[in-house]
Structure 1
Amino acid sequence: MRLLSTDQNLARDSYYAATAPRTHHHAPQAGETTADVAIVGGGLAGLSAALELAQAGRSVVVLEARQVGWGASGRNGGQAIHGLACDQTTIEDQLGMEAARQVWGMSLEALTLLRQRLTTHAIDCDWQAGYLGVATKPGKSAELAAWAERMDRLYGARYTLIGPADLRSWIDSPRYHSGLHDPESGHLHPLKYALGLARAAQQAGARLHEDSPVTALQALPGGGHRLQTPQGVVRAGQVLLAGNVYLQGVAPALEARIMPVGTYIVCSEPLDPALVRRLIPSRSAVCDNNFVLDYFRFTADHRMLYGGRVSYSTLTPPRLAESMRQRMVGTLPALSHARITHAWGGFVDITMNRAPDFGRLAPDLYYLQGFSGHGLALTGLAGKLVAEAMTGDAGRFDVFARLRHRPFPGGRLLRTPALVLGMAWYRLRDLLA
C-alpha cells in the first residue's frame, strides 16, 4: 500500500483538482449488487467502457477505490496525441504490417472518438487542437524526420515538418532544433473530461460507486464473478479490470507485466496572453522526442503547464516545484519570472515494450492496462473495444490482445532497481544523440 500512500501526497496540489471542483459524489457500494458487467476502476478506460456498455443495454456497476478520475486519468499532462507510446515497428514486428496499419488507424479513431464524445455529451474540458513534436539536437531532428517520412510512406500519415529556420515562429525556445505539427491531436483538461465522461456513463444507466475498493475477486462455479468491497458484494456475469497500477493485488497475474512510473508536473500563475501567443502562437501541446521526455502546454486560462521529471523508483524527486521550474525556464527563458502555483504528480503504468496490454484472464474476465503514459485518447477507444468484445464482436479487441508482453525482470524485489539502471542508460543516449 506504500504506492497509494505516496500517490495520495502527490495528488494534493493538482491544478486540475483546483479548477474542476467535484459537484457530484457517488455513494460507496454496499449490500448485495448484481450486474451484467462489473468494472474495477473509475478512470478513463473504465468510464469509457461503462458508457459504451450501458448504451448497449447492459447493466453496469463501476467500482472505484478513490474517486472517479482520481489517478492518472485526472492528473496527466492533458495531451491527446496520435499513435501509441511504443513505436509502430514494435507492432509491425509482432503482428505484421496489415494489423499494424489497423492499430495505427484505431489510434487515430481514438482522437475522433474523443472529440465526438465532447460534442455528444456536452463535456466542456478546454479542448485545444494542435500538437508540436520537437527535437532538441540535430541527431534527434534526423530521427524525427525519418519517422515522419516512414509514417507517410507506410501509413499515409502526413504531418508538417518544421526546419530550424522556421521553428522559432512555432515555438519561441532556444532549446529545440526542428519539429513537426499535427493539427488533429491536441490537449484538454483531463479531470474535467473524466468527470464529464462519468456523468455521461451515469446518464446512460451505469451505476458508479466511489470509495469502493475491490478487496477480493472470485470466480463462481456457475459462471460469473463475485467482487468483495468493504461494505458489500457485487455479482456480475462479466468483469473488466481497468485499475492499472491501482489494482493492489486483485489480479496478481497482471502485476508483473506493468511497472508504476512517477511523472511530475508544475503549473504557473496566469500569464500575459500576449506572451502566451508569442511563445506558442498555435497554442499546440508540445512534446520532445527524447526517451525521457519533456511535455508542456498553455492552459485555457493562460498558465504554463510543464511536465518532465520521472521517477522509476516511485520516490518523489526532492525540491520538486523548484527543479521543475528550472526545466521550464531552461526551455522557455521568457518565463523566468513566472511563479509556480501548483506542483503535483502521479503514477502511470508502463509495459516492457511500451505497447498497451489488453486481454482476458478468463473468458468472462477482461483487462485493460499498460497505456504507458500515452493513454488520454487511447483509453477511450480501449473502453469501446472491450465493450464490443463483451457484447459479441471481439475482432478489434483481439488485434491488441495478440500483442505479447513479458514480465519485468528481477521479480518483485529487483525489478525496480533494474528499471532504474536501464533508464539511466536511455538518459545517457538522449544526451549523446
Structure 2
Amino acid sequence: MNARVRQPQPHAVHSDQHAASYYAATANRALSYPTLAGETVADVCIVGGGFSGLNTAIELAERGFSVVLLEAHKVGWGASGRNGGQLIRGVGHDVEQFAPVLGEDGVRALKLMGLEAVELVRRRVEHFRIDCDLTWGYCDLANTPRDLAGFAEDLEDLWKLDYRHEVRLLQPEQMHEVVGSDRYVGGLIDMGSGHLHPLNLALGEAAAAASLGVRLFEDSAVTRIDYGPEVKVHTANGQVRARTLVLACNAYLNDLNAEIGGKVLPAGSYVIATEPLSPAQARSLIPQNMALCDQRVALDYYRLSADRRLLFGGACHYSGRDPADITAYMRPKMLQVFPQLENVAVDYHWGGMIGIGANRLPQIGRLAEQPNVYYAQAYSGHGLNATHLAGKLLAEAISGEQSTGFDLFNQVPHMTFPGGKLLRSPLLALGMLWYQVKEKLGM
C-alpha cells in the first residue's frame, strides 16, 4: 500500500449508529426515533427501516393507512445507507428467462417497471425536496466485444420500450469521453440513470414518512412474530398488533422467517472513497460525472461524490466473511482501473450485505400460508430503484388496488438456496468462482 494512504475510517458497526462511511460522515440530517416500548396498534407493521420499508410506509400512509415501522438499528443502517449510490434502470438480470412463467407480455411489463422504478425515485426526491446530490448520467462499460454486442441489443430493446431518455453506444475510441481508463472496449450511455447519496435519500424519506404520520422506531429489533388474522410483532420492550405485516429486511432478515429466509443470500460488497480530488483530476477520471459499472462477475462500480472523491466499489463476496482490511482488498482493484491514482489517499472504507436471489429477480410477494404477510427482498445489486418499485407494488396490493406488477412478481417461483444456513454461502462462493474462471478463459 502506498505510503500516502491515510488510515481509513473503520467500518465497524454499532447498533446505535450508522456504519462508519463517507455517507455517514456527510449525512445532512441527524434523525432520531424512539425505541418501541409497550403495546401499539396499527393497520400495518413494517419490519425494516431501509428503502423497501420506508417507501412502503410512505405509499401506505398516502393511502390513509396507519403504519408502524420497526428498525433494529438506525433508519438506513443496512444496504440503503451504504450502497454505491448508483440509480440504474432495470430490475433483475435477463428477465427473458421468466417468459415461460409470465409470457412475453409479462416480460415486457417487467422491463417497463424497471424504467418506472427510476422515475419513482426521481419523483420522490422532487416531491419531498430531498437533498441527496441526485445527478443524471450513467454508462455501462464493456470489458469484451461480446459485452458491447450485448449493449447494442439493450439499446434496441430500450427503443422498443419507447425509453424517453438519451441512450447511445460508445465505440472503443470514444471511451475517454466518459472514463479515464484504457480498460474498456465500449460503453452504453444512459442519461435516464444516474447516482446520488443513498444515506441522505434514506434519511429524507424517513422524514417524509414521519411527516405523513408513520410511527418510526429505532433500536427495536424484532424478536418474535405471532402469525394469525392479527399479527403480533414482539421486540425486547414492546409489541405491535396489526392486521398486515411487511417484512422488508432483505439481507438482514436472519432467522425471522424460515419460508423466505432461505431464498435470499447475504453477500458482502465493499466501497472505498479517496481524498477529495482537484477539479482537473476529477474530470480526467470521469469527464461527464457519470456513474459507471463494468460487466464482470466480480464487477467494479464507481462514481464521483459531490465533493469530488472517487467512490469505488464492488468485489461482491459470497463467502460470508469480510476482508480483514477493506482498503487493502479494494485499492488494488481501483488502481487496475485508474493507475494514475497511485499517490492519492484513501479516506474511507466500508462494507455491508446485499441480498442475492438465485434467479436475480427481486422477490416481491406474500406468504402462501399467511396471506396478510407481505415481503420484498433479494434485489441483487439493483436495490436503489427496485426498492422504490417494491414499496409501490406492496402498497397497491395491501390496499386492494388492482396491481398487475405485484401479481407478476408474486407469480415467479424462487429457489431456496441449498446447504442450509451454514453451507449455502460457501456453495454459492464455489459456484461464483467457476463463473469467474469461465470469464477469464473467455468461455
Please state which band the TM-score falls in when normalised by the shorter chain. over 0.9
Residues 61, 213 of structure 2: 8 Å contact kept: yes
Aligned counterparts, 1:60-79, within 5 A: 60-79=67-86
Match of 1:372 in 2: 380
Letter paired with 1:240: V
Residue 258 in structure 1 maps to residue 267 in structure 2: no
**1:154 shift after superposition:** 5.2
Match of 1:13 among 6, 9, 20: 20
Residues 298, 304 of structure 1: 8 Å contact kept: yes
Match of 1:102 in 2: 109
- For the residue of structure 1 that corresponds to 2:149, the secondary structure is helix
Residues 19, 77 of structure 2: 8 Å contact kept: no
Q: 1:329 to 1:6 in 2, by over 3 A?
A: same
Q: 1:224 to 1:99 in 2, by over 3 A?
A: same
Q: 1:66 to 1:11 in 2, by over 3 A?
A: closer
Residues 41, 241 of structure 1: 8 Å contact kept: yes
Q: Determine the C-alpha separation between the residues in 2 that align with 1:279 and 1:399.
A: 41
Match of 2:392 in 1: 384
Residues 218, 226 of structure 1: 8 Å contact kept: yes
Match of 1:424 in 2: 433
Residue 402 in structure 1 maps to residue 415 in structure 2: no
Q: Determine the C-alpha separation between the residues in 2 that align with 1:275 and 1:286.
A: 17
Q: 1:239 to 1:140 in 2, by over 3 A?
A: same
Match of 1:216 in 2: 224
Q: Which runs of 5+ in 1 are unaligned?
A: none
Match of 1:337 in 2: 343
Match of 2:32 among 25, 31, 34: 25
Q: Determine the C-alpha separation between the residues in 2 that align with 1:348 and 1:165.
A: 35
Q: Determine the C-alpha separation between the residues in 2 that align with 1:291 and 1:41.
A: 29
Aligned counterparts, 1:4-403, within 5 A: 12-20=19-27, 22-149=29-156, 151-152=157-158, 155-157=161-163, 159-220=167-228, 223-361=229-367, 362-393=370-401, 394-403=403-412
User: TM-score by structure 1 length?
Assistant: 0.94
Q: Determine the C-alpha separation between the residues in 2 that align with 1:127 and 1:19.
A: 15
Q: Determine the C-alpha separation between the residues in 2 that align with 1:245 and 1:139.
A: 32
Residues 273, 302 of structure 1: 8 Å contact kept: yes
Moved more, 31-40 or 85-94: 85-94
Q: Determine the C-alpha separation between the residues in 1 that align with 2:267 and 2:218.
A: 24
- Residue by residue, what CA displacement relative to the aligned partner does 1:13-68 show, whole Å, maximum 9, x if unpaired? 31101110651200011101000000000000100010111111110000000010
Letter paired with 1:233: Q
Q: 1:400 to 1:250 in 2, by over 3 A?
A: same
Letter paired with 1:406: M
**1:8 shift after superposition:** 5.2
Residues 292, 426 of structure 1: 8 Å contact kept: no
Q: Determine the C-alpha separation between the residues in 1 that align with 2:94 and 2:408.
A: 17
Aligned CA-pair RMSD: 1.9
Letter paired with 1:409: P
Q: Determine the C-alpha separation between the residues in 2 that align with 1:156 and 1:428.
A: 38
Q: Determine the C-alpha separation between the residues in 2 that align with 1:431 and 1:308.
A: 18
Letter paired with 1:404: P
Residue 412 in structure 1 maps to residue 418 in structure 2: no
Q: 1:169 to 1:380 in 2, by over 3 A?
A: same
Residues 60, 395 of structure 2: 8 Å contact kept: yes
**1:90 shift after superposition:** 2.4
- For the residue of structure 1 that corresponds to 2:354, the secondary structure is strand
- Equivalent pairs counted in the alignment come to 426
Q: 1:153 to 1:92 in 2, by over 3 A?
A: farther
- Residue by residue, what CA displacement relative to the aligned partner does 1:61-99 show, whole Å, maximum 9, x if unpaired? 000000100000000000010112311222334312101
- For the residue of structure 2 that corresponds to 1:49, the secondary structure is helix
Q: Determine the C-alpha separation between the residues in 2 that align with 1:224 and 1:207.
A: 19
- For the residue of structure 2 that corresponds to 1:296, the secondary structure is strand
Moved more, 29-38 or 137-146: 137-146
Q: Determine the C-alpha separation between the residues in 1 that align with 2:423 and 2:199.
A: 34
- For the residue of structure 2 that corresponds to 1:82, the secondary structure is coil
Residues 144, 289 of structure 1: 8 Å contact kept: no
**1:117 shift after superposition:** 1.0
Q: 1:11 to 1:32 in 2, by over 3 A?
A: closer
- Residue by residue, what CA displacement relative to the aligned partner does 1:189-236 show, whole Å, maximum 9, x if unpaired? 00000000000000001000000011111124xx22001111011100
Q: Determine the C-alpha separation between the residues in 2 that align with 1:190 and 1:333.
A: 27
Q: 1:277 to 1:97 in 2, by over 3 A?
A: same
Residues 11, 345 of structure 1: 8 Å contact kept: no
Q: Determine the C-alpha separation between the residues in 2 that align with 1:21 and 1:154.
A: 40
**1:373 shift after superposition:** 1.3
Moved more, 238-247 or 59-68: 238-247
- For the residue of structure 1 that corresponds to 2:384, the secondary structure is coil
**1:144 shift after superposition:** 3.1
Q: 1:301 to 1:274 in 2, by over 3 A?
A: same
